[in-house]
Structure 1
Amino acid sequence: MSEFTNARGYPIGEMSKHTGVNIETIRYYERIKIMPQPDRTAGGNRQYNHDQLKRLSFIKTSRELGFSIKEIRALLEMVDRQDFTCGEVYELTIGHLASVREKIKGLRNLEKALVGMASECGQGDVPDCPILETLFEAR
């Protein structure tokens, strides 16, 4: 059991502290239905269970790996229906990997363009700047 556990469960603040997910983000995940609605105390405060804590950690890790909300929703639907195959998860992951590789390729091209622009600059004291000239050029 976690140090944050009590007999009633995890209040939203403890969920946030334990997972590092902002409270407003937790509420957002509930609104878009990738986090289930938690039980409520008599005073109306959210009380999450351990499975919900694990789910929130899963979502956070997935977001850190760059999975979109749509991809996370697909992964969670597989988990929730409990009849997924490793191959299904693999295919979704490989699709995401291809997207990440494409973004990396784009960032490398961006890096080359910026290096080229910076190399044209003499860093002088005159108001004439080749970087700005390049940015104003029509393509």
Structure 2
Amino acid sequence: MMKIGQLANAAGCTTETIRFYEKIGLFPQADRTESNYRVYSKKHLDRLIFIRNCRALEMSHNEIRTLIMIADDPANRSEHESAHALLQSHLQHIDERIEELKSLRSQLVELQNHCHPTDDTCGILQELAEMEVDVKPAKSHV
């Protein structure tokens, strides 16, 4: 059995992260001692590492929630197909983000090209003040 600080250290995260995952239902509630301390088991550590690894792959909380449901019912073959579809969708989102980042990089390089250190004015600042941008609404891949 571990206390929350020990669990956080073992999983390489913070106690706030654990409490947050508990609050949003990604992580099972811990048992409590008589003095009301949370106590965690190896099962909790395994789940936390699973969540951490998914987050490292930039999966959303909803994607992780779906994968947890699939992991909790390994005998259901259709759920495995759902995991494959989820990953395919996530890959598509990553490909879209790569294209967006390439475009962003091109814009920044173009902006950098406006820098003329011998000038008294900063071309970068002037361009930022005058440029027109295509503002897109934030979108989620969930």
Match status 1:134 vs 2:120: no
Q: For structure 1, which runs of at least 5 residues remain unmatched after alignment?
A: 1-8
Match of 2:80 in 1: 86
Q: Check conservation: 2:70, 2:80, Cα contact below 8 A.
A: no
Matched residue, 2:95: 101
- Total equivalences in the alignment: 130
Counterpart Cα distance in 2 of 1:121 and 1:60: 41
Give the Cα separation in 2 of the matches to 1:72 and 1:124: 52
Work out the percentage of aligned pairs sharing the same amino acid: 35
TM-score by structure 2 length?
0.85
Q: CA RMSD in A?
A: 1.4
| 1:94 Cα deviation from its structure 2 partner | 1.0
CA distance in 2 between partners of 1:124 and 1:98 (Å): 45
CA distance in 1 between counterparts of 2:122 and 2:8 reads: 47
Q: In the TM superposition, what are the counterparts of 1:1-139 in structure 2 within 5 Å?
A: 9-82=1-74, 83-84=76-77, 85-124=79-118, 126=120, 128-139=121-132
CA distance in 2, matches of 1:46, 1:40: 5
Deviation per residue, 1:74-99 (Å, 9 max, x gap): 11112223425432111101111111
Distance 1:114 1:49 in 2: 48
**1:1-56, CA deviations, whole angstroms, 9 ceiling, x for partnerless residues?**
xxxxxxxx111111100111110110010011111111111111111111111000
Q: Hey, what's the Cα distance between the residues in 2 that align with 1:30 and 1:87? A: 27
- Aligned residue for 2:72, secondary structure, equals helix
Distance, in Å, in 2 between the alignment partners of 1:135 and 1:107 is 18
Please, which runs of 5 or more residues in structure 2 have no aligned partner? 133-142
| Separation (CA, whole Å) in 1 of partners of 2:62 and 2:73 | 17
